[in-house]
Amino acid sequence: MLSKTMQDALNAQVLIEGQSSQVYLAMASWAEIQPGIDNITSFFYRHSDEEREHMLKLIHFINERGGFAVIPSFEQPQLTFPSISHAFKTLLEHEIMVSESINNLVDIALKEKDYATHNFLQWYVAEQIEEEALARNINDKLELIGNEKSGLYLLDRDILNVSVGGPTPPQ
């Protein structure tokens, strides 16, 4: 059974994961109307789907452990970006914020002596390591590319093989 403190903290994370999905969905929609970056566009759509999965996993976990998952409303995310680099920089900053929030949840689980939740959260810890590394990697590439269109062409081609999924979610 979840404590009230743990339940509230997990529900706050439901909001963050759902909001992340909205943030990346907005990036996807913006990218879709930019010429020639179809694979970058798919990357953002996939990322948005992944974040929704993260949210759903939390919802199921809260409800299965005797709590009640509260479905939140979301803020309208940033809709347009000055460049693709800006969008990916925003993505990295967002993931860093999510990692901090997951670490804080782990901290609460330990304080509450809730080892089941602590164990459940390890998947998110591993996921954040992967997502941050991936976002940093893309940002590094974009820095190298600068304003070169040919570099962007190659990034769009290579991003096809990039997985935003991370480890397989526990059932």
The correct pick among 28, 98, 121, 138 for binding ligand OFO (CB under 6 A) is 98
Closest distance to ligand OFO from the beta carbon of 95 (Å): 5
127 binds ligand OFO (CB under 6 A): yes
Q: Which residue is nearest to ligand OFO (CB)?
A: 54
For residue 44, give the nearest of 81, 6, 97 by alpha carbon.
81
Measure the CA–CA gap between 62 and 68, rounded to whole angstroms.
6
- Residue 102 vs 142, nearer CB to ligand OFO: 102
Residue type for position 137:
N
Match 């093989």 to its residue by tokens.
Answer: 161
Asked if 57 is part of the footprint of ligand OFO (rule: CB under 6 A), the reply reads: no
d(CA 60, CA 71): 12
Residue in 131, 138, 156, 159 binding ligand OFO, rule: CB under 6 A: 131
The distance from CA 136 to its chain's CA centroid, rounded to whole angstroms, is 14
| Contact residue for ligand OFO among 44, 54, 67, 142 (CB under 6 A) | 54
Longest dimension (CA), the chain: 55
Query: What x/- string results for residues 17 through 36 when contact with ligand OFO is judged by CB under 6 A?
Result: x--x----------------
User: Toward ligand OFO, which CB reaches closer, 114 or 131?
Assistant: 131
Alpha-helical segments (H) within the chain: 4-32, 38-64, 84-111, 115-145, 149-158
Binding region for ligand OFO (CB under 6 A): 17, 20, 51, 54, 95, 98, 124, 127-128, 131
